[in-house]
Each structure stands twice: as structure tokens, then as C-alpha cells.
């Protein structure tokens, strides 16, 4: 079969890599792809948001299955368009993707259906939002309502920072239309966990848990990013807790979406906080996480095509997932200055040496070609994943591989997975 993967980041490289191991897949296309996907797939120069052009390509090329990586095309209705044209596509419709596309919709759904989350308030006037912050005090979390590439969340521990965040998002429009409204919510403390789950709109099958590291610097300091690293499994997230999340969060959310006439098919991403008062939902996403995918897929032993098709053909109740024993740790190598301004087009050295290491996978996130060599082309440049019998071994392999790679200004966190070792 022919498969099209939409997107050009680390998650998409991981999807292409996993799909390439399927005996059922004869040809993979990736739009737009990156320097890493080019080794396994044919890159197609169509941006992920150009959904009409993607549908035309899929029809013309006779694509048997399209897998959508990023959130923006999902929210824009790529699944609706592909379905209208009779094309098999993995992901939720635009109506269902609102679970990620609108934080207001997600919070109001959780409030209405009793799904545990942080207390919150919604504002479309920045002065009223600032007055609310002064009333309730800090620490507090300020979120732009719409899509902001993982960066539209500010955890403010000082009042000045919270007031400034509201002003910049709503008046300064640093995230554009995504900041027309803000959600202001209580700051939850505890261990953060991501649980991805497959759903056909009715049934739910959780994948293995992982823990992302959002802040830019060691010790969870600095501004939030799209994710600086990840590990799986998460020792603190016990089977009993996973069962609780299934019963109190995942299944109720899927049923709520059904009840609202927005059946959700694809991957439901639950960002969770394990607080002293119980598990709370931080956010929902409507797709595979990035960089969570870079530690979850290397542990999956099933053929990914079979797994995705089960969601589309009613086979989910019969699906039995098999997982590689041990652990996976992914370290993100980012451009200097990220998540702020950064330079592009810088040569990357040592990729072959790192990829030659045992139980190491190097996923390209923001890379391209220039004069025949691989160069930086984004904020998050590479996701270096190590596999091992446990977190310590996987972590050691990841960092040994990271040390073999270099580009000007490269920075990465050195504490990915340390929490698991405690």
C-alpha cells in the first residue's frame, strides 16, 4: 500500500520510520517532510496546512492511507476534506479537533461532563483578565485559547509575569488570532504525564505513558517550548492510575464528544497532572504528541498500519497491543535561542556516528538540505532516542549519541529522565 504522512517534524519522522517497518507498506510519501524523512520516504513539497493540495496529491497518487501528524491541518478540516473525497485518513474531524483547537471548548466540556481539571475562567477582555489575576493571586496559568505550537501557555509565579502574559497574548497578539480569548486557571503541582489513546469514536485503547519536559532549561526552568525531551515508561504512573484515567477521563471524554455530535476518531492525547488531590487534565490534544511519539512508537511491537486501520474499520475492540520491554528516552537538540528567535541553515555534524550507535534512533525535527548537506531548519532540530533495559540505560545511550552530534549554538537539557530515576 501507499501511505502519506502529513507534517515535517520529529513526530512525522517517527511515524515514517515506524511505517517503513511494515511489510504492508510499499511506498511512503511525507509532506513536506525533512532531511530525515527523505531517507525513508519521498518528500512532497506541500505544506501541512495546504489541505486542498494534499487531497489532490493523495487522489492523484492513489494513496491508500493518510496519517496526519500536526494539529493545524486537523483543526482546518483535512480529515473532513479527505473523507468527502473517499480517501482513508487517520485523525479527527475539524469538529472533534476543537478539543485541541479551542482550550475554551475543552475546558467547558470537562466542566459540563465532570472530567477532572483545574479551576478556570475565560476572558475576551484583557483588563478583566488582569483584574481577575489580581483578585485570585499567583501562581496562575495563562493560556491562549487557540493553537500556538505548544508555546501559548505561561506558568506565572509572579503577578507581574501573569499580567504581562495576558497583555502580550490579547493586546500584543504574539500568537495572532489564537489569543483573542484566554483561559486563566489554577496552577497545579505534581508529576506531569502524557497518556495517548487510540479511539474509533466509541472504544478506547491506551498506549504506554510518557513524560514530556516542556521548559527550555534544566530543572524545569525557563519558558515553555514544544517539548525538550521525553521518556517512557513513567514509574510513578502505575497500572492502577492508568485504569483510573481510562475510567474517569479517556472514556468519559470520548463519550462526551459522541454526545455533542462530534465523534472523535484517531489519537486522543491527555496531558495529565498527578496532584495531591488526584489526577487532573492539563490539556487535550487531537493527535500524536511530539516528542512523546519518539519514545512511544519505538516501544510498539505491532505493525502500525494494523493499529491505525483498527481505528478506522471497527477493529479496535479486537486490537491487542504488544510493547517492547524496557524504556526509551528522547533528548531534543534545539537551536540556540529557541523558543525565541534562532538562526537557520547551520550544518549538522556527527549524524552518521550517532545513528550507528546500538539502540539509538535519531529523529529529525527541524532539518533540511543546503548544498548537499543536512542543516538546521527549525527550533527543535533533532530528537535523539535511546533504548535500554531501563530508564538509566536508555538515558545513557541517548546522551552518548547526543555528544556525537554538533551544530553551532546547539542546546539541550541534560536532565531528561532524571525524575524517573528518583
Q: Domains of the chain, with CATH numbers? A: 2-93 (3.40.50.20), 125-180 (3.30.1490.20), 191-318 (3.30.470.20), 327-421 (3.90.600.10)
Residues 231-260, mean pLDDT to the nearest whole number:
97
Please count the residues of the chain. 422
DSSP code at position 100: H
DSSP assignment string, 181-214: SEEEEEPP-SEEEEEEEEEESS-EEE---BEE--
Q: What are phi and psi of 180, to 5 degrees?
A: -60, -35
Residue 180 has a pLDDT of 87
**Ramachandran assignment for 312, one of left (phi > 0), alpha (psi -120 to 50 degrees), beta (any other):** alpha
- Tell me: pLDDT of 150 over 70: no
The pLDDT confidence band at residue 148, using thresholds 50, 70 and 90, is confident
Q: How far apart are alpha carbons 102 and 83 in whole angstroms? A: 23
- The distance between the two most distant Cα atoms of the chain, rounded to a whole number of Å, is 60
Tens-digit pLDDT profile for residues 310-319: 999 989 999 9
Work out the mean pLDDT of the chain and round it to a whole number. 95
Residues 383, 174: contact at Cβ < 8 Å? no
Residues 150, 194: contact at Cβ < 8 Å? no
Residue 116 has a pLDDT of 97
Cβ neighbours of 332 (radius 10 Å):
31
- Tell me: pLDDT of 1 over 80: yes
Closest C-alpha to 269, from 212, 349, 190: 212
DSSP assignment string, 132-153: HHHHH-SSEEEEESS--TT--E
- Tell me: pLDDT of 34 over 80: yes
Residues 20-28, mean pLDDT to the nearest whole number:
98
Residues 180, 157: contact at Cβ < 8 Å? no
Residues 321, 403: contact at Cβ < 8 Å? no
Q: How far apart are alpha carbons 169 and 161 in whole angstroms? A: 12
For residue 376, give the 3-state DSSP assignment.
strand
Residues 196-204, mean pLDDT to the nearest whole number:
97
Q: Which comes out higher in pLDDT, residue 148 or 45?
A: 45
Residues 270, 198: contact at Cβ < 8 Å? no
DSSP code at position 382: E
Cβ neighbours of 155 (radius 10 Å):
20
Least confident stretch, 67-81, 215-229, 290-304: 215-229
Residues 8, 37: contact at Cβ < 8 Å? yes
Tens-digit pLDDT profile for residues 123-139: 998 889 999 999 989 99
Q: How far apart are alpha carbons 12 and 31 in whole angstroms? A: 9
Q: How far apart are alpha carbons 285 and 45 in whole angstroms? A: 26
Show the cell assigned to 200: 474509533
Residues 210-221, mean pLDDT to the nearest whole number:
95
Least confident stretch, 161-170, 230-239, 274-283, 397-406: 161-170
Show the cell assigned to 19: 511505517
Q: How far apart are alpha carbons 307 and 321 in whole angstroms? A: 8
Pairing mode of beta strands 367-370, 373-376? antiparallel
Helix axes 126-136, 159-170, angle to 10 degrees: 160
Show the cell assigned to 235: 514509574
Amino acid at each position: 500500500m501507499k501511505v502519506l504522512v502529513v507534517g515535517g517534524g520529529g513526530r512525522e519522522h517517527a511515524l515514517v520510520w515506524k511505517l517503513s517497518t511494515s511489510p504492508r507498506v510499499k511506498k511512503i510519501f511525507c509532506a513536506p517532510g525533512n532531511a530525515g524523512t527523505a531517507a525513508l520516504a519521498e518528500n512532497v513539497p506541500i505544506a501541512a496546512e495546504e489541505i486542498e493540495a494534499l487531497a489532490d496529491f493523495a487522489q492523484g497518487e492513489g494513496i491508500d492511507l493518510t496519517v496526519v501528524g500536526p494539529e493545524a491541518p486537523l483543526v482546518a478540516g483535512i480529515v473532513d476534506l479527505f473523507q468527502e473525497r473517499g480517501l482513508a485518513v487517520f485523525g479527527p474531524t475539524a469538529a472533534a479537533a476543537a478539543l485541541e483547537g479551542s482550550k475554551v471548548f475543552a475546558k467547558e466540556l470537562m466542566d459540563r461532563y465532570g472530567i477532572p481539571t483545574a479551576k478556570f475562567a475565560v476572558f475576551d477582555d484583557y483588563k478583566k483578565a488582569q483584574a481577575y489575576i489580581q483578585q485570585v493571586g499567583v501562581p496562575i496559568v495563562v493560556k491562549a485559547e487557540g493553537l500556538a505550537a505548544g508555546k501559548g501557555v505561561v506558568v506565572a509565579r509572579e503577578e507581574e509575569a501573569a499580567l504581562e502574559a495576558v497583555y502580550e497574548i490579547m493586546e500584543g497578539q504574539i500568537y495572532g488570532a489564537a489569543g483573542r480569548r484566554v483561559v486563566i486557571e489554577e496552577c497545579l503541582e505534581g508529576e506531569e504525564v502524557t497518556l495517548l489513546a487510540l479511539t474509533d469514536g466509541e472504544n478506547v485503547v491506551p498506549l504506554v505513558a510518557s513524560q514530556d519536559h516542556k521548559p527550555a532549561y534544566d530543572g524545569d526552568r525557563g519558558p515553555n517550548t514544544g517539548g525538550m525531551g521525553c521518556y517512557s515508561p513513567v514509574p510513578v504512573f502505575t497500572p492502577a492510575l492508568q485504569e483510573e484515567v481510562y475510567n474517569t477521563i479517556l472514556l468519559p471524554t470520548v463519550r462526551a464528544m459522541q454526545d455533542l455530535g462530534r465523534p472523535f476518531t484517531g489519537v486522543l492525547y491527555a496531558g495529565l497532572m498527578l496532584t495531591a488531590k488526584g489526577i487532573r487534565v492539563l490539556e487535550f490534544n487531537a493527535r500524536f504528541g511530539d516528542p512523546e511519539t519518539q519514545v512511544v512508537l519505538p516501544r510498539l511491537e505491532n505493525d502500525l498500519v494494523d493499529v491505525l486501520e483498527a481505528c478506522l474499520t471497527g477493529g479496535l475492540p479486537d486490537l491487542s497491543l504488544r510493547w517492547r520491554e524496557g524504556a526509551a528516552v528522547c533528548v531534543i537538540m534545539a537551536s540556540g535561542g529557541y523558543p525565541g528567535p534562532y538562526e537557520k541553515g547551520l550544518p549538522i555534524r556527527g549524524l552518521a556516528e550517532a545513528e550507528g550507535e546500538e539502540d539509538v534512533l535519531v529523529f529529525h525535527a527541524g532539518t533540511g538540505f543546503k548544498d548537499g548537506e543536512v542543516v538546521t531548519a527549525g527550533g527543535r532540530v533533532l530528537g535523539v532516542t535511546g533504548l535500554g533495559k531501563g530508564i538509566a540505560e536508555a538515558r545513557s545511550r541517548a546522551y552518548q549519541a547526543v555528544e556525537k552530534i554538533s551544530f553551532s549554538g546547539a542546546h539541550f537539557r541534560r536532565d531528561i529522565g532524571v525524575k524517573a530515576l528518583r
